[in-house]
Structure formats: structure tokens, C-alpha cells
Structure 1
Amino acid sequence: MRSTPRTEAFPAHTPAAAQVFTTVLSHGPLTRSDMAGRAGLSAAAVTKAVRPLIEAGYLVEDVDDVGDEARSSLGRPANPVRVDGGRALFIGVKVTGDEIIAVLTDLCCRIRVARHLPLVARDPKTVLASISALVQELLAEADGFGVQVQGLGVAVSGDVDRAAGAVRLSPFLEWRDLPLAELVGMTTGLPVTVDNDVRALAVAEQWFGAGVGLSDFAVVTVGAGIGCGLVVHGKVVSGAHGVAGEIGHVVIDPTGPPCHCGNRGCAEAIAADPAIVTAVREATGLPVADAAQAVDLARRGDPGAREVYARAGNAIGRAIATVANLLGPERVIISGEGLAAYDLFAEQIRDAFAASAFGTAAQCDVLTRPLPFDEWARGAAATAIQSFISGAGT
């Protein structure tokens, strides 16, 4: 068994320092004046924030080749400052219903190593043992980089209380009120951040993906469920009770199929992969086993299967329009394993969105972005980086 990993505190002792660092992380390299403009801080505040971060090696100043004489005549040159991605490592874990995906990333959230492990059972004891095994593998890989792992992020579906480090309810895993951060921390020895998987993906998209530079956007995921991560005024929001963005349970058709939440006709009960498979089976009378078979049947022109996907696209488009109407995001990013069928319902998504979005909400940029589960695990690592920077690790 490996010894307990050694971690260190991030030298950003003020909110301004953390803000400067995350600004450089997402937009860098930046000069100090660029940092001040983007972060809305004074030049003095930026200088004060940058100094300890450079001294500790988290930021690196790319000094130009101006000679001493020119330097003295020009004053301090506007050298760009960047994050040293190799200064620290992080681990991200995504738990699905049938496998665990773990990645080792650097401080810039670039994946260095990825591991997948089939999940033989969904009970917490089995999942914890599998997470621990994967983390130990990645800690061994980290030794080869000569840098410490500073945090671990775990992403699961469902109602997750990040502040408490607890999974309140995860229907796919059948977990309820599980203190996951505490349990994973005990088995790994690392500071642990636990978050909803779609919110974690939104963090990664905000800092490193299609949401960089946007103040307001949403990530909508289609697959085993329908999820939504919201970024409002530059912050990923979870709401007072941790369930903000649950558009999967927006009722699209009150007379529609029953949903596991207890209602009828939720977007998830119409457009999630399990609902589609059930509906295709009923519409065709064929023993359709999974989403891949349902997609294949629809692509071969089966009218019943195609109608099921058309209804699913309509539900997704209306759910996205609800987000646009309520929050007015600049962009909605559609992702998830359900995008494998995107050609079957893309037109219906667009039409339903256009018909349901009110006024200028229809100008929202709707972008599809296929992201494999490695990227969801990267999102979990992004939450660990976020906690490390803010000093909020569990």
C-alpha cells in the first residue's frame, strides 16, 4: 500500500489572487495589464497577487530578451505570465452505472493518463474499492512526473451537495445520503471534491472548453439521463438545494410516459436513452436491447423508431428553450453519449427550440460538442483544481 500523499496549500491567500490565477488559467498567457482588465482589478492588486504565485512556481513570467540598457529606458516590460501546468497534478473520477473512468491531469487540466475499470456492482463498498484501486494506479503514474497530486475530484449523477461532500440521491447508482467525499478521502488520503457530473463538466467547459470567456452559458447532456449545468454571471450554480438545472424533470407532456421521479412526461422520460429504447421496443414490437440497436433501427428507416427519435428531439429542444427563456444564456452546449443519435433528432431539436424560445432568447448559440467520458472525468479533476485554488478542498 502506498503511503499517504503529501499535499500543499495553494499560495493564493486572497480572493483577488485566486481570481487572477483562474483568469490566467483560462485566458493566459496574459500581461499584468491584461489580467487587470479581465479580472476587473487595479494594477497594484494584480502585482500583489502575482508575486507569491510566481515565487511558488505556479505562474511563470516569460521574460523577453530586452537588454539591461533598453530595460531601464523602457521601464518594466509587459512580459506575459502563464500557468506552469506541470507544477501540480490532479485526479478526476467519473462514476457511471457500469464503469469508472479516472484521469490524471496537470494544473491546466490536460489529461496525462486515463484509466477505465468496469463496475461489477453499484453498492458503495464496491465502488469505493474500485475508485481506490484506480487512484492508487494514477498515484503510481504521478511518481513518474515527479510532482505531487494535490487533489481528487469525483463526479456522479444525481443530487450532489458539493459543500457537504455528499450524494443526496443518485437514481442510477441507487445511492442516498452517502458521505462520499469523506469515504473517498479516508481510502485515498487526498483532499476530495464531490460534485454532480454535469456541473463538473460545466466547470471544465467554463475554464478550458467552449465556455471560456462567456459569462452565461449552459451545458445540456443527453444520454442515460438529461442533465444541465448552468453558469450564471461567471459562476457555476447549484441553487439553494443543489439541484439547479434539472431540466430532465421539466414536464414536456403531462400525459406522457411515467418518469422515475414520480411525474409523467418529463424530458428524461421521453428523451433519455432508456426511455428511447423502451419506446422503440413498444413502437416496433422488436426486442431492442440497447440504444445502439435503437439507433440502428431508426437509421434503417423503421418508421416507429424514427418517430420515437423525433419525439425525443422535440422534448430536448423544448427543454433547452426553457433554459434559454429563464436565463438568457449566450450559448447552450449539448453533449453526452446520446449525441451518437444526433442525426436522428437534430432537426426536431432546432425546430422545437425555435418555436419555444421567446423573443431574443432564440438568438442563443446552440452548439453540439461530443465529449467522451474521459472528458467528464476531466471535469471532475477541474472541480479538484477549483477547490485547490480556493482552499475549499474537503
Structure 2
Amino acid sequence: MEQRGAYTPTPPPAWTPRTDPAPLLPDAEPYRVLGTPAAREADPELLRRLHTALVRGRRYNTQATALTKQGRLAVYPSSTGQEACEIGAAFALEERDWLFPSYRDTLAVIARGVDPVETLTLLRGDWHTGYDPYEHRVAPLSTPLATQLPHAVGLAHAARLKGDDVVALAMVGDGGTSEGDFHEALNFAAVWRSPVVFLVQNNGFAISVPLDKQTAAPSLAHKAVGYGMRGRLVDGNDALAVHEVLTEAVRHARAGGGPTLVEALTYRVEAHTNADDAGRYRAPTDGDAWRAHDPVALVEAELTARGLLDADTLEAVRADAETMAADLRARMNQDAPLDPMDLFAHVYAEPTPQLREQEAQLRAEIAAAAEDRPEGTPR
């Protein structure tokens, strides 16, 4: 029986999405070029540049990994198998743009022009970044997960406010998408329509955690829709496809179209770092399908099919990579000059009283140790 004075709610106002989600959705299948008819239209010079950079990157990874075993590097997170993501990211940017790498993105940093030894300085355990971020517009390698993403958004937003024609490309792994900084960066970027591109290298694992333990989303690219930006899904081992998708995303951002989230599907062939035992959570055969889809081999097959790569040219490219590795080896085997006073030189613009006191104390201890050193002992 209806009660007297019963409240009958009115229906809510008609609702429509603020943004049509259809254009934001990624394709059902990862975008690819190599192995399709579209590859025949690719610029031969671009193919050669990609191939040379991929071969050098593969050799750099093996050499840096060897340096960890020799005690010359504290840690190295190899990107073997992911080289196409690294090189594609660097090649998509103009000189005036900024790259915000994660700790695994050494190849992208080098492809931007940073010295190979300086790129490894942070991973060697030396002071600070190892390179001048402003020289090549490359932010420091970020070891904390996803913290570089809000920085990229801030720089891109500030550049637009100043009228600078700059795009920021921020790289992160699939594990980084589970961090709060990822959410904050994408939300701010979409609201402000900042000229920034997010590249997620989905290599299957956040250290030992597989993707299905991190997210139930159809893909990481689908997360873009929730923030109101475009999502793209690309074959991360296809250097041409990665380059094309990222170049278009950078162009879109520069034209005022807002940010794009690109998910590159790839595979981490080696362990998370030299300190990781991938055998505890992966079977040796788990990556066989990805090894057969190797980014270097894909480009070489296309070059060979088009008559752009012969045995002599391939040998020259590999010899160039060996020269780079030998130079890296020789320079990394030199002990870096260390000054203990650097501990205090770059903490504050104006040193605090406590810092000055600590500096004076260390100077006194070093002087006292020198006085106690026997005659003729190297100082």
C-alpha cells in the first residue's frame, strides 16, 4: 500500500559522454609494418638507420651486461629484444623535444646523442646523472617507477604556456602503469591537453610479476580511454611500426591534439637485471615465439628482400658495433676520478649550516688520515 507523502525520485538528466570514446580506442590487433606490403613503401635510408642503431644497441646490451660481471657496473637492466622500442622512441623526436627515460632505456638515451659511457654513469654508481640533461634534452634515467611521467607532463605543459614548440616523450614499463604517478601524469596530461606522448614497453613482466597479475584491462592501451586520450597498440619488435606510430603521436601532440598513450608489445629476453634470476618465474622456452620475432632480424629480412643489405654491408654494420663496444670497454675499465667533496657540492644551492659542518668534518678526517700515512705511501 502506497504511503502518504511517499517520495518519488525524479529520473536523472539525460547523459551523454563528454568525449566520444570510439576514436580513443586502440585497434584490436597491434599495428605492424614489417612483413606486410606496407613495408615496401618505407624509406630505404630510414630502414638503414634503424638497422644500424638496432645492431649497435644489441651489442651495447651484451657489452654492458659483461661489464657487470667484471665489476665495472653495479647493475644493468638489459633491453635485449626491446631495441625497436628504444630506437623508435629516439628517432621519433625532433632535436628540440625532450625524452624522459626509465632505467632500462639506455639505448634511447644513446640514440639521442648522449655519450655511451656517460649513459652508464648512474648505473656505475658514480655521482648524479652522468650527463647534462640540457645538452641533448634527455632527462635523467629514472630508477623509481613512473616518477618521470609527471615531470614530462610538467615540462610539456610549461613549454606550451611559454609558446615553445616542444613535445615530451615519456617511456615506462608495464610495471610502471601500476604506480600512482602513472595515473596522475595521464590525468593531468589529458586535462591540460599537454604535448606529451607516453610509451609503455609491455615486456610481459614487472620483474617477476606477469601482466595478468597487474591488470584485467583488455590492453594497457585501453587505459587511455579512461583519461580521455587516444590509445595505440603497436608491435614493439617492429621498428618501422614503432617509429611510425610514435612519429604520428608526436606530430599530433605538437599540433595541439593532446597526449597519446602507446603500448608497445615486446618481450624481455634477458633477466630484469643482472641481479635477477628469471629462471625462478619463467621457463627457458617461454620466450621462443618472441625470439623468432627478433627486432634486428625483422629489419634485416626486409632490407635483404629489397636488395638493400648484402654480406659486405652487414659486416660493416657489425664491425662498427664492435668498435663501439671496444671503446666502451676500454673507457669503462678506467677508474673514474672521485672527489669526496662532491658529496656536498650539489645538495643545496646555498649550503645549510649542517652541511658545511659535515664538509668541514670530512676535510679534517681526510687531512688527519694523510698525516698518519707512512712516508712514500701513495695518497
Quick check: TM above 0.5? Answer: no
Greater strand share, 1 or 2?
Answer: 1
Higher relative contact order (CA 8 A, sep 6+): 2
Larger radius of gyration: 2
